[in-house]
Amino acid sequence: MTQLKDAETARIVRGDRVFDEAQDISWRAADSLRQALNAGDPDSLERAIVLSLEAIALNSECFNAYFTICASYNMQNLFRWGDDPNGAADRSEQWAKKFLSKAPQSYWAHFCLGSIRVRKGQITEGIGDLRHAHELNPNEMMILQSLSYAEARAGETVAARELAEQAIRLSPKDPLIGNAYLALAIASFAEQNHDEFRQWADRAIREAPNAPIRRALMIAHAAIIGDQRLLEIHRNELMGFAPDFIASIFSGENQQFERPEHIELLLNGLRKAGFGED
């Protein structure tokens, strides 16, 4: 799926007509979303939202645009970009529900709803949506990786490991394999397995250096083990593209774990790193 999207997007960026106008615009939106993630660029993310809305206005069943706008608002909430990041999460959920109402058997619609519910801390409900998406298409790696990530956040470390290892085994060169590495890193962090955490977190960050939770976990880990140099490296990187992210963890606006003991483990690590102080 990801390789297909990349190929189609490349043709559209060159100026080739691939689908109807709405579909072409939706692929440009998807490309802007990818640029936003790769470069840590909020302007590209805004462009993805504007283009998605334009595509939907032209064709109310342009489902690729629904996927992109859901993912864009989800990312806006995660990175704390824009004037209303909490409202962005609500908008993502609203669009996911619209998507689902138009395509109730679409695994991507269930995926979008599950992803934003997990993002909003509705982890049990989100896992249910993601499991249903996985049942509809057990071969889609993005869904499998996201489910492993959600299970890790829920503290279900055994299930998270099984799903992440399955994703790595089935598609080790998948462009989004870093999400499986992240699930393994979160599971290891929750279990306080420091050596294993570092192994998976390093790999997750290499795959997506501008994904904030990976940096925040590494900062907490570095503080816990007393590695000041490692702490400063990741603090500086995170402050460069998502400076408000850690504050949102302390405020509860960006809940990363479901179980209180895992939440406190992360917060204590971040406090040791100098965050959360009055």
- Radius of gyration in angstroms for the set of CA atoms belonging to the chain, rounded to a whole number: 18
Residue 226: partners with Cβ closer than 8 Å, 6 or more residues away: none
Q: Which residues contact 224 (CB under 8 A, 6 or more apart)?
A: 194, 268, 269, 272
pLDDT of residue 153: 96
What is the average pLDDT across 75-84? 95
The CA–CA distances, whole Å, from 79 to 9, 46, 68 equal 24, 13, 16
Given pLDDT bands bounded at 50, 70 and 90, which one contains residue 31? Answer: very high
In tens, the pLDDT along 129-176 reads 999 999 999 999 999 999 999 999 999 999 999 999 999 999 999 999
How far is the C-alpha of 40 from the C-alpha of 78, rounded, in Å? 12
Residues 241/40, Cβ–Cβ less than 8 Å: yes
**pLDDT of amino acid 203:** 98
Rounded to the nearest integer, the mean pLDDT of the chain is 93
Tokens 């290499």: give the residue: 206
Look up the pTM and report it.
0.90
DSSP, residue by residue, 76-145: HHHHT-SS-HHHHHHHHHHHHHHHHHH-TT-HHHHHHHHHHHHHTT-HHHHHHHHHHHHHH-TT-HHHHH
Look at residue 255 in the predicted model and tell me its pLDDT: 86
- Residue 90's pLDDT band, with cuts at 50, 70 and 90, is very high
Q: Which domains does the chain have, with CATH numbers?
A: 1-138 (1.25.40.10), 169-278 (1.25.40)
CB–CB of 118/77 below 8 Å?
Answer: no
192-237 pLDDT, tens per residue? 999 999 999 999 999 999 999 999 999 999 999 999 999 999 999 9
106-134 per-position pLDDT tens digit = 999 999 999 999 999 999 999 999 999 99
CA angle 82, 85, 88 (to 5 degrees): 105
> What pLDDT score was predicted for residue 11?
45
Centroid of chain to Cα 132 = 18
Q: Residues 237-248: what's their mean pLDDT?
A: 96
Is the pLDDT assigned to residue 254 strictly greater than 60? yes
- Between 151 and 255, name the one with better pLDDT: 151
pLDDT at 19 over 70: no
